[in-house]
Structure 1
Amino acid sequence: MKYTHEDIKQIGISCLNLSLRRTSRLITSYYDLQLKPTGLRITQFTVLASIAYEKDPSISDLARLTDIDRTTLQRSLEILSRDSLITIEKKEIGNVRSISLTKKGELKLTKAIALWKEIQNSIMEDLGKSEFKQTLQILTELRNLPTIQIGLENE
């Protein structure tokens, strides 16, 4: 049986993945625009914040912490390193590299965090505090669904 026009319409109005991707692109664009004065994109901001949080993580640690695949993470790290915001050093044991913020990276992160707080507050005000918290909770629940976790394990 061939799909119908109604099948296609239902995808557009009820597909969770499509809705999340559309929303994600819009929110990412908003964060990027608001962070523009720092010269950082939201993905780079997230990586810098994760490095600051973890203290000298390896690339594997950082990939797990940020849920960014290693190839995408590697590109971000190259840009951050090129801009002298991070250092990547080979550890003495094994083929492991540790990542740390430079002083320039710490200063840029400090400025970006101030803007990030404004962005968060702006979205929270527009959406409502309880709806904002509820949205974060629902997104966490979605990431932890057994069906999704099983699918990731089988990759």
Structure 2
Amino acid sequence: MAWLKIEEVARKTGLTKRAIRYYEEIGLFQPSQRSDSGYRLYTDQDVQELKRVVDIKEVLGFSLQEIQQFLELGKRIEAYRREYSQATDPAVKRQDIREMREALEQQLQMVEAKMKKMVAFQQEVRNMLTQLQQIEETMEGKGEKRGFDDT
């Protein structure tokens, strides 16, 4: 397995080394390993996880706290899938699942609200582009008439 240093990870993810360290500090992300001298060592999987954090932040506009909650829910769901056959108290498990479902439904509502806003901005940009094209067409039309008038 090839280990990557923080500089390489920063380059591949577009994050600064400081941001990567901060994500580790707040528990959003952990490097796979540390060298004997304490340097952070990363895998390609770590890079993919950090890229996912960047995507969630940039595309969805989630705060770091919201990203952390989202990622933790994903981990909890995966753990439940693995441990389903070893259920301890079914009532407790049902309550946990209900809470996770409610949290995911809230996140889904937040994403849907952001998507509506994005669609509205998209339409605004399209309208502006249409207006600009109309201006260009008008200018071209006037330019052609002037060309004929000048001869």
TM-score by length of 2: 0.31
Which of the pair has more CA radius of gyration?
A: 2
